[in-house]
Structure 1
Amino acid sequence: MESSFEIETRTVFDRYQRQQENDDHIFDRLVSLIEEDYFGLPTGSFRGLDVLDAGCGSNANASYAFLDKGARNVVSLELSNDWMDCARKRLSRFGPRSELVAGSVLDLPFDDFSFDFVHCAGVLPHTRDPKKGFEELARVTRPGGSFFLTIMGTANGVIYRCINHLRELYQSDEQFRSSIDNLDASTAREAIDWLLRTKDGEEKEYIPGENEFFRSLFDDDLFVTIRDRFQAPTYHQFAFTEVQIRGWYGECGFEKIRRISRYTKNFHNLRRFLAPMYRHYDHPLARFWFGDGCIQMIGEKPST
């Protein structure tokens, strides 16, 4: 049985994931994150596999990517069934290879060893028992299969400390909450136009094209991310470590456990300048801003 907290979280995510589905640039950027070489696999490795996309989100972008790369069958799992109409818009082209299932990662409705590849990105911190969810995902991974997890690390960096504080402010301050809820590319464009117009009234551009460049740092993709960080409630904030997650994999019998990272491409906003720190999460600058960062790990279950 899902808690009211988990249902509330799903409702928040549904709003912005539907917006992502309606924006081809955002959707295509998210789909591009699923690449074999990122997981340390040869090109074509997803062909013929049974894949679970656990906590797929309303737009099921990772499910789309696995299917597009030739997976035999992809099960997209999310709470309730209110998200399925959104997911079907993209996934219907794959016919019976795509299956939508209502369920929780805390009690997966699948037999042991059901999937060759299990994918779960950013879901467990929004559940009442992340460790139980991890064990359920490990349970349904087949011998010889792989389990990939994304989970936010301990908030000991400047940006995540700020995010946690502002999330609390969002919950307690009506004016701040209204500002975040109304934040999108349109309202930001009005504010930026006012800012630059006022600046230009006092002094002209110091560097040719600086106004255009400044505008380019902000788009709806960025504001969807910001709203996500503040609006989504969380049980556990950012309270996980790499050592802890490695331990979970080991306890569940996984081998070849690796932390992986990527240079996230195709941002058209400020996050382009953060991408080097996403890739090199252990650099001192990345540690300063992001602390333990986004922990992305993969492990293999030994063949029997």
Structure 2
Amino acid sequence: MESAFETETRAVFDCHQRQQEDDDHIFDRLTSLIGDDYFGLPSGGFRGLDILDAGCGSNANASYAFLNKGARSVTSLELGDAWMDCARKRLGRFGARSVLVAGSVLDLPFDDTSFDFVHCAGVLPHTSDPQKGFQELVRVTRPGGNFFLTIMGTANGVLYRCINHLRELYQSDDQFRRSVDNLSAATARQAVDWLLDTKDREEAEYLPNENEFFRSLFDDDLFVTIRDRLQAPTYHDFNFTEMQIRGWYAESGLENVRRISRYTRDFHNLRRFLAPMYRYYDHPLARFWFGDGCIQMIGEKPRQ
């Protein structure tokens, strides 16, 4: 049974993820994040696997990528069933290899050791008991299989301190909430046009094409991300540490546990200048801005 909190959270994400599904650039960028080399698998390592995409989102972009890379089956799990029409737009082409399931990571409707690869990205902070969800995900991982988790780290970086403050403001200030809800590339273009037109009346461009470059920093992909960070309710405000998550893996008996990172490509906005810090999360500049950052961890369940 879903709580009111979970229902509200799912509704917020559903709106964002449907917009992502409708934009081929955003969807392609998201699916490009799934690669066997990134997860430390051999080339073609997803072929023949039974995969769980837990908290797949309405657009099920990771599920699509796994299927496209040859998984035998992908079970896409999300709360309720209102998201399934969106997921089927992309996943329908895979027929019976794609299975859509309504359920919660806190009580997975699967037998023990059901999947060769379990993928759960950005879900656990939006549950009432993240560690219970973690244990459930380990439970359904097969011996010799891998469990991959993405979870936002501590808010001790400047950017996430700001995000948490803005999240509180979004909940308490009606005017600010309306401004965030109306954020889009279209409203940003209006604001940027006013800003640059006003500037141009006072002074000419200092650098060639500086106005064009400034405009390029803002697109719908950026504003979907901003709304995602500020609108979605969460029980846990970015307060997980790498050491804590490593502890969960160790307590669950998983082996070859490692934090992984990548240079995230194909941003057409401001975030392309943040990509070096996503890749090198331990650099002092990245620690200053992001704290523990986006913790992406993978481990293997021992063979019996």
Report the Cα distance in structure 2 between the residues aligned to 1:81 and 1:253, rounded to whole angstroms: 33
The Cα shift of 1:101 comes to 0.1
Asked if 1:134 is matched to 2:134, the reply is: yes
Q: Residue 6 of structure 1: CA displacement?
A: 1.1
SS of 1:37's equivalent in the other structure is coil
For 1:244 and 1:174, how far apart are their aligned partners in 2?
A: 36
Is residue 190 from structure 1 mapped to residue 190 from structure 2 by the alignment? yes
Identity %: 82
Structure 1 stretches of at least 4 aligned residues deviating more than 6 Å after TM superposition: none
Alpha-carbon distance in structure 2 between the residues aligned to 1:250 and 1:108? 21
| Aligned counterpart, 1:104 | 104
Equivalence for 2:28: 28
Partner of 1:62: 62
Q: Which letter does structure 2 place at the counterpart of 1:211?
A: N
Tell me the CA shift for residue 201 of structure 1: 0.1
CA deviation string 1:116-161 (max 9, x = no partner): 0000000000000000000000000000000000000010000000
Structure 1 residues not aligned, in runs of 5+ = none
State TM-score, norm by structure 2.
1.00
Provide the residue aligned with 1:73 in structure 2: 73
Shift in Å, 1:172: 0.3
| Residue deviations 1:268-301 (CA, integer Å, cap 9, x gap) | 0000000000000000000000000000000000
Give the CA deviation at 1:43.
1.2
Q: In 2, Cα distance between the equivalents of 1:2 and 1:94? A: 29
Gaps of 5+ in 2: none
Q: CA deviation at 1:83?
A: 0.0
**What's the offset of the Cα at 1:7?**
1.0
Question: Are 1:39 and 2:4 counterparts?
Answer: no
CA distance in 2, matches of 1:161, 1:82: 33
Three-state SS of the structure 2 residue aligned to 1:142 is strand
Question: Deviation digits for residues 32-66 of structure 1, max 9, x if unmatched?
Answer: 00011111111100000000000000000000000
Task: Determine the structure 2 residue equivalent to 1:235.
Answer: 235
Indicate yes or no: 2:114 matched with 1:114: yes
Q: Deviations over 1:196-217 (max 9, x none)?
A: 0000000010000000000000
Q: How many pairs align?
A: 304
Aligned to 2:156: 156
CA distance in 2, matches of 1:47, 1:151: 26
Secondary structure of residue in 1 paired with 2:37 = helix
Give the letter for the 1:53 counterpart: D
Distance apart, 1:253 and its partner CA: 1.1
Following the alignment from structure 1 to structure 2, what is the Cα–Cα distance between the partners of residues 251 and 158?
31
**Letter paired with 2:143:** P
1:7 maps to which residue? Answer: 7
Give secondary structure in 1 for the equivalent of 2:112: coil
Cα distance between partner residues in 2 of 1:217 and 1:43: 35
- The code of the aligned residue for 1:215 comes to R
Amino acid corresponding to residue 17 of structure 2 in structure 1: Q
CA distance in 2, matches of 1:271, 1:95: 35
Partner residue, 2:247: 247
Number of the residue aligned with 1:85: 85
Q: Which SS does the other structure have where 1:16 is aligned?
A: helix
**3-state SS of the aligned residue for 1:46?**
coil
Q: RMSD over aligned Cα, in angstroms?
A: 0.4
Q: Which amino acid aligns with 2:293?
A: G
SS in 1 for 2:256: strand
| 2-structure distance, mates of 1:292, 1:247 | 15
Cα separation, 2, equivalents of 1:187 and 1:143:
50
What TM-score do the two structures reach when normalised by structure 1?
A: 1.00
Q: Structure 2: how far apart are the matches of 1:238 and 1:227?
A: 16
> Within 2, Cα distance between the matches of 1:38 and 1:111?
28
Aligned partner letter, 1:249: Y
Give secondary structure in 1 for the equivalent of 2:38.
helix
2:201 is equivalent to residue 205 of structure 1? no
Q: Deviations over 1:238-295 (max 9, x none)?
A: 1111111111111111000000001000000000000000000000000000000000
